[in-house]
Amino acid sequence: MAKTSRLTPTTVYLYIPNIIGYMRILMNCCAFAICFKDKMLFSILYFISFVCDALDGWFARKFNQVSTFGAVLDMVTDRISTACLLVILSQVYRPSLIFLSLLALDIGSHWLQMYSSFLAGKTSHKDVKDSSSWLFRTYYGNRKFMAYCCVSCEVLYILLFLLAENQTENLTDVLINSAKESWLYFSLLSLLLFGWATKQLVNFIQMKTAADACVHYDIARKQ
């Protein structure tokens, strides 16, 4: 790796993890372009893009190519990908408000967390060691636990999309009928739903914690 004094914008843009990020964006564009024409291909492309989210972080640490741009690119790609899938699910399931609410919670909580971290002078939004919530600290402090929650969430959304046969599906009926099909489906859905629920709880805690941090910043600035 070149020395810091020799770095140029092009060098950072062409970091290996950032190139992976560009590939993820391209895969997602292709995936959503054919999502209703070929559900299986969409699911494969979307999931590969999701897996690459872990790869870019590994390459960044491996080759000492961690960058602020890369971190922002990674989060923006994650949030937009999930948001697009939730919008699609809101079109094929009823009540659609469930998925739109999940979209708002996901984007709102992460945006607030990023901004509050910036106000606190932290280098990463994942630095939550000072949080009073043990679940929040565990989520960002344990990569395996965080991976389980994220994988559960994305796989559940993909599975729901694959299970939808028309654009007027009732979410509860689909989940119950799928769970009744076999013990394998029941076990898989139970595992995914637990991870999904945990992530939504973390998102709520994250939003509340970040909002409190912004309020305390305002109070401290005016005193």
What pLDDT score does 166 carry?
80
pLDDT at 217 over 50: yes
- CB neighbours of 194 closer than 8 A, spacing ≥ 6? 152
Closest CA to 116 of 200, 223, 212, 222: 212
What pLDDT score does 5 carry?
57
Closest CA to 124 of 66, 78, 83: 66
pTM, two decimal places = 0.92
In tens, the pLDDT along 14-40 reads 999 999 999 999 999 999 999 999 999
Q: Kindly give the residue spans of alpha helices, DSSP state H, lying in 39-170.
A: 39-62, 68-92, 97-119, 134-141, 143-163
Q: For residues 152 and 57, which has the higher predicted lDDT (pLDDT)?
A: 152
pLDDT at 1 over 70: no
What pLDDT score does 37 carry?
95
In tens, the pLDDT along 88-131 reads 999 999 999 999 999 999 999 999 999 999 999 998 889 999 99
Annotated catalytic residues are: 78
Instruction: Determine the average pLDDT of the residues in 137-166.
Output: 95
